[in-house]
Amino acid sequence: MFKVLKTEGRARRGEFSCAHGGVVQTPVFMNVGTQGAIKGGVSAHDLKEVGCQIELSNTYHLHLRPGDHIVRQMGGLHKFMDWDGPILTDSGGFQVFSLASLRKIREEGVTFASHIDGHRIFMGPEESMQIQSNLGSDIAMAFDECVENPATYEYAKASCERTARWLERCKAEHDRLNALPDTVNPGQMLFGINQGATFADLRVWHMDQIAKIDCDGYAIGGLAVGEPAEVMYEIIDAVEPHMPKDKPRYLMGVGTPSNIIEGVARGVDFFDCVMPSRNGRHGKLFTWEGTVNIMNEKYITDERPISGSCQCPVCRRFSRSYLRHLFKADEVLALRLAVLHNLWFYNELMAKIRQALDEGNFAEFREKYSGKLEQRA
């Protein structure tokens, strides 16, 4: 269930609801817990404290370890990780094409080698839907091919035509699984994924095709894979007018705070990215004053919090000096504190974007922060 409450230009302020959790306020950033936990020692309980609305987990990784049948046996992913809010699972497509070696793509699906032990695995649209049904997520993503960048026009065209056919198979299998009496989450939704590399005409054609299949939402995939930000924005500009107005739009794997602000300005509702957790684990911290590299020697006796304007659990309790010490001493706590701070910042970023939309001053917010948040503090 998705409802647009108001708009400012192409930016949309909305509400989304699904089988778990209350009403999600959009635009929203989904916090990435690849294997059922945020890398850096952050649990589902911590996500509540830092303002997370939707958690995202990875179909490919959970299929390999512990196994989706194990998660099903344990009552589904919500019960397994003790998270009562919405969960989105990606289809596994991106990981199959980026992590797996010796992959072979056919119309039926993809055969690939596990990155853990090398054993051969087959995954197609039906298998992806079955895995995600076992996990019991609230939003399942359609199985797609994420084309490498750069790609030839001919390959990208054949690939997105196949991805459109795969979506039809995903939809049929998803409907079948949801109707089973013992399914983990009979209210699970399905989002289709737009592909087409960086070719605007392929993107538009593909969006028009998949919009004919009645999905609960639609994503733009295959971006933020090495192309310049301006190219990404051009693709969003081309695709967005062809996306259903009454369904949520999701920009996959994006991105920096500036990318998110620019995505919202172009009509996107959902975002996800590993950046806040990955950067945090390397001492790169986000603040409203710009980015902070906590490894810098100038913080060695700095008694201030990471950001004086931040109310996260870390900034309320610890100094820059202490956090720098933890990193230099290779303490695991350093990763946890840095990731918690960055997740808080990203979730607060979305709250401030929503507030700006509510108050009708998103254009001013965008002008003030889109460039500033990319700079060093």
Q: Residue 27 and residue 260: Cα distance in Å, rounded? A: 9
Catalytic residue among 46, 68, 90, 269: 90
The answer to whether position 96 is within a domain reads yes
Contacts of 181 (CB under 8 A, 6+ apart): none
DSSP class of residue 2 equals E
Domain with 72, as residue range(s), is: 2-273
CATH at residue 105: 3.20.20.105
237 is catalytic: no
Report pLDDT for 185: 98
The answer to whether position 278 is within a domain reads no
Domain total for the chain? 2
User: Do 161 and 73 share a structural domain?
Assistant: yes
**Amino acid in the structure at residue 340:** L
Report pLDDT for 92: 85
The answer to whether position 123 is within a domain reads yes
User: Do 207 and 187 share a structural domain?
Assistant: yes
From 251, 273, 295, the end of a domain falls on 273
Report pLDDT for 95: 83
From 273, 292, 313, the end of a domain falls on 273
Report pLDDT for 193: 98
The answer to whether position 259 is within a domain reads yes
Asked if 331 and 41 count as a contact pair (C-beta separation under 8 A), the reply is no
Report pLDDT for 97: 76
Q: Residue 112 and residue 120: Cα distance in Å, rounded? A: 6
Q: For 222-250, how does the pLDDT look when each residue is reduced to its tens digit (9 = 90+)? A: 999 889 999 999 999 999 999 999 999 99
The answer to whether position 199 is within a domain reads yes
Report pLDDT for 143: 97
Report pLDDT for 115: 87
Report pLDDT for 93: 84
Q: For 355-368, how does the pLDDT look when each residue is reduced to its tens digit (9 = 90+)? A: 999 999 999 999 99
82 is catalytic: no
pLDDT less than 50: residues of the chain? none
Q: Residue 321 and residue 74: Cα distance in Å, rounded? A: 42
Catalytic residue among 68, 138, 216, 272: 272
Report pLDDT for 100: 66
